[in-house]
Structures are given as C-alpha cells and as structure tokens.
Amino acid sequence: MKRSLAIFSLLTLAACGADGEPVRPTASSTITMSSSGVAVGTTLGLTRGPFSVALGL
C-alpha cells in the first residue's frame, strides 16, 4: 500500500507540469463479481504525445 501511494504521488507530481505544460492523469476502476468472489482493479496513467505510462493495481 505504501509503495502504491508513493507511485501515485510521483505520478501526481509529474502531472502538475513542473517542467512544462500540465499533463492530466487518467484513472479507471473496475469491479468484477463472479462465483469465486469479487475482484477490484484500478489503473492510473499519463499520456503525453506518443508516450503513455500506466500503472495497474
């Protein structure tokens, strides 16, 4: 959990535009229910030009 929070903080800092124009981060969440249980997934990402970085939790 601490590692995820640290990575999210770094992505937020990178998105603030410290060395250029701001880059808006993206986030999405999914909840899947099946007979074996419930699964939750989250993806955080940044896109700038042709480059994209995403982190799935």
- Domain segments of the chain as ranges: 2-56
Q: Convert the pLDDT of each residue in 1-57 to its tens digit.
A: 778 778 878 777 776 656 667 778 889 999 999 998 999 999 999 888 888 888 887
Q: Tokens at residue 11, please?
A: 């992505």
Euclidean distance between CA atoms 18 and 44, whole angstroms: 19
Which candidate, 19, 32, 16, 25, places its Cα nearest to that of 48? 25
Euclidean distance between CA atoms 57 and 39, whole angstroms: 11
